[in-house]
């Protein structure tokens, strides 16, 4: 369990809403919530619950889903970055990193997960001329992930 999630769990068990409201108003007390870690934990929990027949493992920056029937794993990279305009432009850095991982042939299937927004509501498949020129068989998708 991530440190941010365990901290929030501990806080919720020890403090009620009035205590948290008082802490929020106090000028000398501050706490930070790591949105990336919370989003990653949310995705991991949900994927693990939805895939009880598969191996779901959370690694440093990714979640790996492995099925016994298929040798190729699916790698999910949750990213806490809100997409406000064009997804291909705003996710350029994440796409470049994913292409580098695919080029090493460490894996064949990568989904980059972003919080769903008004302008990003559908899966966007990405093709790379660099990977296509190498003749690699791969899947790279940008995926809006609903938080509820």
Interior CA angle at 104 toward 98 and 105, to 5°?
Answer: 90
Asked whether the beta carbons of 44 and 63 are under 8 A apart, the reply is yes
Any alpha helices (H) in the chain, and if so which ranges?
3-14, 17-25, 35-50, 87-90, 92-103, 129-133
pLDDT at 70: 79
**Domains, the chain, ordered by start:** 1-33 (no CATH), 34-145 (3.40.1350)
Tokens standing for residue 46 = 């949900």
pLDDT at 58: 93
Tell me, what DSSP letter sits at residue 79? Answer: -
Helix (H) or strand (E) holding 125: strand 124-125
CA distance 107 to 73: 7
Q: What is the mean pLDDT of the chain?
A: 85
| Of the candidates 115, 11, 21, 97, the residue with the CA atom closest to the CA atom of residue 61 | 97
CA distance 66 to 55: 5
CA distance 42 to 34: 12
- Within the chain, which residues score under 70 in pLDDT? 1-17, 19-24, 27, 29-33, 148
Global pTM?
A: 0.77
């Amino acid at each position: 369990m991530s440190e941010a999630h365990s901290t929030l769990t501990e806080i919720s068990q020890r403090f009620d809403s009035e205590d948290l409201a008082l802490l929020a108003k106090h000028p000398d007390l501050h706490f930070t919530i790591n949105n990336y870690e919370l989003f990653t934990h949310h995705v991991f929990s949900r994927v693990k619950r939805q895939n009880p027949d598969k191996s779901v493992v959370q690694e440093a920056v990714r979640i790996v889903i492995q099925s016994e029937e298929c040798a190729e794993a699916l790698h999910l990279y949750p990213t806490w970055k809100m997409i406000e305009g064009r997804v291909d432009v705003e996710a350029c850095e994440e796409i470049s990193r994913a292409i580098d991982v695919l080029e090493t042939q460490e894996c064949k299937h990568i989904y980059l997960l972003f919080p769903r927004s008004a302008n990003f509501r559908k899966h966007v498949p990405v093709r790379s001329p660099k990977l296509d020129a190498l003749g690699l068989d791969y899947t790279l998708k940008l995926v809006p992930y609903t938080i509820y």
